[in-house]
Amino acid sequence: MTDNLELSHQQERAFQPQRLSAPRDFMQPAALLKPELSLVLEIGAGKGKHALSFAMQNSDKYLIAIERTRNKFEAFKKLAAQQNSANLTAIHADAIAWIVHAIAPNSIDSIYILYPNPEQHNPNQQWLNMPFFEFLLSRLQAGGKIILATNIETYMDNAEQQANEVWCLPNTRSQVASSSQRTHFEVKYLARQETCWELSMKKPKGYQTRFDKWTTDTLTI
């Protein structure tokens, strides 16, 4: 643990997971009880374009994809049932509350946050600006990655700055290839010849958060 890291995110206002109730009808997917699985998380899966493709192309990984909006989730759920991938679970819930009650520390291999709401009028709700991001990092394995994509350059500028200055995460910023088709938003933006950006952040070995041993009574892992 570096002095720089001690003076950065652990100086920030702490997230308070104990205040969050479990989502309605909450159930832990059976996959979370199997430590041998390589777990991947997608936050804001939309209608599931990336999740469905990822599950087909990565049979060695288990993807849990969360979507809060009901109409998008219902479309995703229907497509997921048709594809019937054994390595995919679609979850309808608020991602923050669900992660707090479902995911154990140091258990996720990688996390995808593709084209989130840019929250241009409420920057405190951007993912890397939220105290919750520290909790999210505690769920990630050492060496694991968070992949963020957006078509809003100012959002990406801020995310890159926060990754460097607050969260002290090694990261790589790149331009998304014009041929990429991971999500419906990505297809639309690239078709309009907009630039899309990706930030890949890695959790270093020895990285510490204030939630590394924090669980709820719900957790059984």
Mean of pLDDT values over 118-143: 96
Q: What is the pLDDT of residue 36?
A: 86
Is residue 142 predicted with pLDDT exceeding 90? Answer: yes
- Of the pLDDT bands very low, low, confident and very high (cuts 50, 70, 90), residue 214 is very high
| Both structure tokens of 77 | 């759920």
What whole-number distance in Å separates Cα of residue 186 and Cα of residue 151?
Answer: 8
| Both structure tokens of 44 | 């804001």
Ordered by start, the domain boundaries in the chain are 39-103, 124-207
Structure confidence by residue, pLDDT tens digits, 9-57? 666 678 999 999 998 889 889 898 888 899 999 999 999 999 999 999 9
Structure confidence by residue, pLDDT tens digits, 176-204? 999 999 999 999 999 999 999 999 999 99
Is residue 8 predicted with pLDDT exceeding 90? Answer: no
Is residue 5 predicted with pLDDT exceeding 70? Answer: no
- The backbone region for 85, taken as left when phi is positive above 0, alpha when psi lies in -120 to 50, beta otherwise, is beta
Is residue 65 predicted with pLDDT exceeding 70? Answer: yes
The DSSP secondary structure of 15-51, one letter per residue, reads P-GGGPPPPTT----GGGG-TTSEEEEEE--TTSHHH
Please report, rounded to a whole number, the percentage of residues in the chain having pLDDT higher than 90.
Answer: 83
CB neighbourhood size of 51 (10 A): 30
Q: What is the pLDDT of residue 216?
A: 83
Q: Write the CB contacts of 152 (distance below 8 Å, at least 6 apart in sequence).
A: 118, 120
* Residue 163 CA from chain centroid, whole number: 14
Please report, rounded to a whole number, the percentage of residues in the chain having pLDDT higher than 70.
Answer: 92
**Burial class of 207 by CB neighbour count within 10 A (0 to 12, 13 to 18, 19+):** buried
Q: What is the pLDDT of residue 83?
A: 97
- Of the pLDDT bands very low, low, confident and very high (cuts 50, 70, 90), residue 114 is very high
Is residue 3 predicted with pLDDT exceeding 70? Answer: no
Is residue 6 predicted with pLDDT exceeding 60? Answer: no
Q: What is the pLDDT of residue 34?
A: 86
Structure confidence by residue, pLDDT tens digits, 84-103? 999 999 999 999 999 999 99
Tokens 């394995």 locate to 141
- Nearest alpha carbon to residue 65 among 84, 86, 48: 48
CATH topology of domain 39-103: Rossmann fold (3.40.50)
**Which backbone phi and psi does 201 adopt, to 5 degrees?**
-115, 135
Is residue 64 predicted with pLDDT exceeding 50? Answer: yes
Q: What is the pLDDT of residue 4?
A: 43
Q: What is the pLDDT of residue 9?
A: 65
pTM given for the model: 0.93
Mean of pLDDT values over 54-67: 97
| Both structure tokens of 218 | 């719900």
Own/partner pairs for 75-81, CB < 8 Å, 24+ apart? 75/47, 75/48, 76/45, 76/46, 76/47, 76/48, 76/51, 79/47, 79/48, 79/52, 80/48, 80/51, 80/52
Instruction: Tell me the residue type at 141.
Output: Q
Instruction: Tell me the residue type at 142.
Output: A
